[in-house]
Structure 1
Amino acid sequence: MARCMRVADKGPGRKCRVSCALEKARQGGYEMKKLGLIANCTKPRAGEVVRCIDFAARRMGLKICADPSTARLLKMCKCMKIDRIISSVDAVIAIGGDGTMLRVVRELNGRDIPVIGVNIGGLGFLTSVAEGDLELALECLSDDRYVESVRSIADCSVERGNRVIGKYRALNDIVITSGATSRIMTLGVSIGRNDVTSYVSDGIIVAMPTGSTGHSLSAGGPIVTPESRVMVISVICPHTLSSRPLVIPDSSKIVVELIQCAGRVPLTVDGQVGRLLAAGDKLKISKSERGVRFIHLPGHSYFNVLRQKLRWSGSNR
């Protein structure tokens, strides 16, 4: 098995170096693959990382295409709109932070294309590949040596009266908040045919497992492993001491009704898209039949990610 040399030089003039082993791997007849590159071009290191991936991929015989903004960072690359990229590649490499991964998942819109994330952002719960592992990641892709994690997606429809006024898909969470005025609202929640209760609060979060370490965690929700078959309901600043997050099977059908509010309140899906809601609007939320496949390198551990990102140090004795 050919081994890939990692990029070790951290200096400002760092260049991508592809080992002879990679060239041998290419000549050894690995299956050719086509990869799509989608980067957050506002990140300072985006250009260098994109060029590094493109250079290494070409040396390995991998085909590369990119969306227009990413392609501008490269001198030689096939440029396509994101829809065409997704319909023609074997995998998508998202370069940025968690927001970039969420954007790519939204663009996939249920299509069965795996995604691997390269972290050049901040926290990076979803982008599991570090810059120093770029060549290793490409070798693993070319050699089909990687681990897949299938993540659940939520389908959300917004109803006003008898009319559906919006449809969304969420990997992380669906959030109703009080907005800039910070006025409380009344929300009714039912699960299946069962009325749960009504909450007087600043809002509510319905999180999928992948999103349990996001807004839901800040609202007191639990951490659940990303492949768990559950959803989490967390109320934001409830006007009661007895309210606690609910963990329910992902086969459940959730209805959230905005019973009372002062004016319009924002609905936000994955922190990126949404709309304004009015009193009487209903959200119907259920697990989508189509999830998303995340690619990780061999040896990836979710609990290692938790320890690193949440800075768990353990008990000192």
Structure 2
Amino acid sequence: MEKTSKNSSPEYNKILNKVKKVKIIKNKFVKEELLTEFYIYMKKNKIIEVVDVKNADLIVSFGGDGTILIAAKETIKKDIPILAVNMGTVGYMAEIKPENAVEMLEKYERSQCIIDERAFLEIEYNDNIFYALNELLIIKGGLVSHLINVEVYSNSILVNKYRADGVIVATPTGSTAYSLSAGGSIVHPSLNAVSITPLLPQSLTARPIIVDGKDKLSFKVYTRDNDAHLNIDGSQCFHIKPSDKINAVLSQKRVKIIRTENSDYYNILREKLKWGKTL
């Protein structure tokens, strides 16, 4: 009697997450010829591309981690996963290769994948709410601007007073982005934590610190030349006035990224950061 493999069993191949409509977000430099197979698959399976994410079953991101930041903002409107296809350079979050995009879509429909949930940073700026997947950045203006003074509070208790080019407040996801370049610690994405990293501080004793994500952070910014800015994920920028109110806390909102069943965060770090390799 012939054995039935796990992959051919009706239960294993059952469609659990039916995808009929997708919202596609792609980097403008993506080579369209690399997407041909995916578009043929969509047409064959009658999967429609929609403009409004509220009508979609899934978001497909073609690009690097910067493209995922754009896609992540769309999940605020509708809580659906992102199939992140890496067509950029580093790609900490986008790990699916273009040639595997169709296979991963099929695996998602059969729930043969991992859904990696990443927390947003919820930012209150003058009574308006914004969300950052990577970081909040308080930074001085142009090259000729003076250093700025930033007081950071946690639940109204002073953490530190920084005199620096700026301060980076990063989610665990953002800990491998700008914060890492500035000397911040890598924070595992499963942790409910936020990292505070001074950017080129005047004092050598001003070091990065990791705080509880449930703590409400607040900031007071002082400048000599009134030239400081609030930057959110590199896409939203505001000129800070002395009277501005800036608060931040790790949000309960999550972005869901589809990963392979054998996805390994430490392996991603070893691969992307070249750990263990001779320079």
| Same-fold call, TM cutoff 0.5 | yes
2:22 is the alignment partner of 1:36: yes
Bigger drift between 135-144 and 298-307 goes to 135-144
The one-letter amino acid of 1:54's match is Y
Q: CA deviation at 1:41?
A: 4.8
Cα separation, 2, equivalents of 1:288 and 1:29: 34
The answer as to whether partners of 2:23 and 2:58 remain within 8 angstroms in 1 is no
Cα separation, 1, equivalents of 2:188 and 2:46: 33
Cα separation, 2, equivalents of 1:290 and 1:253: 16
Partner of 1:75: none
The equivalences for 1:1-317 within 5 A come to 30-31=15-16, 32-45=18-31, 47-59=32-44, 61=45, 63-65=47-49, 80-81=50-51, 84=52, 86-109=53-76, 111-159=78-126, 164=127, 166-180=128-142, 181-313=144-276
Cα separation, 1, equivalents of 2:145 and 2:114: 43
Cα separation, 2, equivalents of 1:306 and 1:198: 32
Q: CA deviation at 1:40?
A: 2.4
Q: CA deviation at 1:30?
A: 2.9
The one-letter amino acid of 2:137's match is V
Which digits, 9 at most, give the CA deviation of each residue in 1:186-206, with x for residues without a partner?
A: 111110031122111110000
Q: CA deviation at 1:293?
A: 1.1
Cα separation, 2, equivalents of 1:154 and 1:88: 26
Change (3 A) 1:29 1:290: closer
Cα separation, 2, equivalents of 1:278 and 1:103: 27
Q: CA deviation at 1:57?
A: 3.6
Cα separation, 1, equivalents of 2:214 and 2:160: 20
The answer as to whether partners of 2:134 and 2:175 remain within 8 angstroms in 1 is yes
Cα separation, 2, equivalents of 1:287 and 1:110: 18
SS state at 1:155 partner: strand
Bigger drift between 225-234 and 128-137 goes to 128-137
The one-letter amino acid of 2:89's match is G
The answer as to whether partners of 1:146 and 1:298 remain within 8 angstroms in 2 is yes
Q: CA deviation at 1:315?
A: 8.0
Change (3 A) 1:276 1:312: same
The answer as to whether partners of 1:54 and 1:64 remain within 8 angstroms in 2 is no
The answer as to whether partners of 1:204 and 1:234 remain within 8 angstroms in 2 is yes
The answer as to whether partners of 1:261 and 1:278 remain within 8 angstroms in 2 is no
Cα separation, 1, equivalents of 2:222 and 2:140: 13
Instruction: Give the total of aligned pairs.
Output: 271
**Percent identical residues:** 26
Cα separation, 1, equivalents of 2:42 and 2:114: 20
SS state at 1:256 partner: strand
The one-letter amino acid of 1:210's match is T
The answer as to whether partners of 2:124 and 2:246 remain within 8 angstroms in 1 is yes
SS state at 2:60 partner: strand
The one-letter amino acid of 1:312's match is W
* Alignment gaps of 5+ in structure 1: 4-20, 66-79
Change (3 A) 1:142 1:57: farther
Q: CA RMSD in A?
A: 2.4
If the length of structure 1 is used for normalisation, what is the TM-score? 0.79
If the length of structure 2 is used for normalisation, what is the TM-score? 0.89
